[in-house]
Structure 1
Amino acid sequence: MGHRARKFLPWMGALAVVVTITGLMGASSVMAADPQSTDEGAVRQMEGAVSLEKEQIEEYDPWEPYNEKMFSFNHDKVDRYVLKPVATVWDYLPDPVQEHLGNAFDNVAMPRRVVNNLLQAKFKGAGTELARFGINTTVGVVGFFDVAKKWGLEQSDADTGQTLGKWGIGPGPYFIFPFLPPLTVRDAFGLVGDVAMDPINYFAPLAASFGRRGGDVVNARSQNLELYESVEESTVDLYSAVRNAYLQRRQKAIEK
């Protein structure tokens, strides 16, 4: 074990507990996950936050004073003192290991994507998801390898909040819960549906489910340490930037 890894050993004894706590942050769709996507969703939202020019989109935020406090708590306390340190330790895993773990977490989320593709009448997307799951679970060794992508089958992501939007339900107020990434009221209800479609919840104890979700969040965070840091350093009003980027991305997901 190298010197850099040894100096982080004091963190490892508490890793299981911390992962369970951070699992609460990943029970969604970013700053985390579409709000349910903790990896690609987080990256897209953070990338959007550094955009120099905001697109015109309605930002209905009647609870802004409360939301700013919760955003500050999630960012300044939970992310800075819990998630980022754990993700920094996690980043000592080789990049291929992190990628394979991300693939496996993603593979388990197949039911959400299939059901919501069907509810949005995206039958090709639902079929692609079923094919991806079959290939990656077998040839890809329980999803650790994204063989389907190499064979030209790209993921067709969809979530319940997006489905509700397709059905004409408006986003409602922007809202931030403690320990969770930003949401709208519509996406909060969608999150409940997405969590209900997570098969891990039915086959593992609650703590194990949180642990798996926490591992997903930590893994995604560790793969984007530099991106998060660059956004924090280059954005003057991070709260407004994240809000705008989140609402833009959700609107585009519904319109596509």
Structure 2
Amino acid sequence: MQKFKILMKWAILGLASLAAGCASALKDERDPWEGFNRNMQSFNDNLDDYVMKPVAQGYQWITPHFVDRGITNFFSNIGDIGVTINDLLQMKMAQGGQDGARFLVNTTAGLAGFIDVASMIHLQKHNEDFDQTLGYWGTPTGPYLVLPFFGPSSPRGVGGLMGDAAMNPISYVSLGLSTGISTAISGGLFATNAVDFRADNLTSEKIATEAALDRYEFFKNAYLQQREYLVHDGKIPQDKAHEEYHFNIDEELDKELTPPVSPY
């Protein structure tokens, strides 16, 4: 669930670079497929407006908070399996041990992950995925690409999604069953995860949308900056390091929502 929060972080920070970019007539070399991407984003936005957002709002309305929190924890715990594997693939052995311990603690003491016991005992949760692993191995990001349903991505990101799916046990939960039953179980779990994630981020998405001068440029810059930040674990190369890489997302969101106090 941290991915969306980090995306919001870079979306807010991207406003300054967006303003500068609007003054330039040069084509963004990172985005040679802009026409296709803008059309695909419009498709995704319409899908969200007419399907995902209403379903998420209904889910949020009928689901008690503790149940919603438990479902979020459950899928986050499953995600820790992939996080641990990617830790090891990036040679982050100590971090991998910690994330593996999180999964074991939450699966046992946390009732299959519905209760985040690991956070209660200060086992830090990390954010690693196969796209970051590919970046660690030296695979270039490639051009910006908006995927149907999945949104902002890149050619490397497509490979990352495939790797993440292979590491997700939900992909194998119904092996051995008939095709129809298998599809229903796996599809149902993935759909529940998607709706739960969308419901948890209704407010954040609203803030980002209202702040955007150009929604497309806004999310493109947010995605590309976020990926670079994650691949380098926050240690941005010197020629790309800027002060905005070090700030508190919660404080920044508070600033966006709090009107200035009049001196009179």
Bin of the TM-score, shorter chain as denominator length:
0.7 to 0.9
Alignment equivalent of 2:159, drawn from 189, 200, 214: 189
CA separation in 1, counterparts of 2:230 and 2:195? 25
- Is the contact made by 1:126 and 1:156 (CA closer than 8 Å) also made in structure 2? no
Deviation of 1:59 (Å)? 6.2
Match of 1:224 in 2: 201
Q: Percent identity?
A: 38
Deviation of 1:88 (Å)? 0.4
Match of 2:11 in 1: 49
* One-letter amino acid of the counterpart of residue 79, structure 1: D
Deviation of 1:53 (Å)? 2.0
Residues 27-52 of structure 1 deviation map (CA, whole Å, 9 limit, x = unaligned):
xxxxxxxxxxxx32123213432333
Deviation of 1:157 (Å)? 2.2
- Is the contact made by 1:171 and 1:184 (CA closer than 8 Å) also made in structure 2? yes
Structure 1 outlier segments of 4+, above 4 Å: 55-59
The question of 1:79 aligning with 2:42 is answered: no
CA separation in 2, counterparts of 1:183 and 1:216? 19
- Is the contact made by 1:159 and 1:194 (CA closer than 8 Å) also made in structure 2? yes
Deviation of 1:237 (Å)? 0.4
Residues 104-124 of structure 1 deviation map (CA, whole Å, 9 limit, x = unaligned):
011112321111100101001
The question of 1:159 aligning with 2:129 is answered: yes
Deviation of 1:94 (Å)? 2.1
Q: Across the two proteins, how many residue pairs are aligned to each other?
A: 217
* One-letter amino acid of the counterpart of residue 172, structure 2: Y
Root-mean-square deviation (Å): 1.9
* Helix, strand or coil at the partner of 2:151: coil
User: 5+ unaligned residues in a row in structure 2: which ranges?
Assistant: 22-27, 175-181, 234-264
* Helix, strand or coil at the partner of 2:125: coil
Alignment equivalent of 1:245, drawn from 210, 218, 222: 222
* Helix, strand or coil at the partner of 1:109: helix
User: 5+ unaligned residues in a row in structure 1: which ranges?
Assistant: 1-38
TM-score, normalised relative to structure 1: 0.80
Match of 1:13 in 2: none
Deviation of 1:198 (Å)? 0.9
Greater relative contact order, per chain length (Cα 8 Å cut-off, separation 6+) = 1
- Is the contact made by 2:81 and 2:103 (CA closer than 8 Å) also made in structure 1? no
* One-letter amino acid of the counterpart of residue 231, structure 2: I
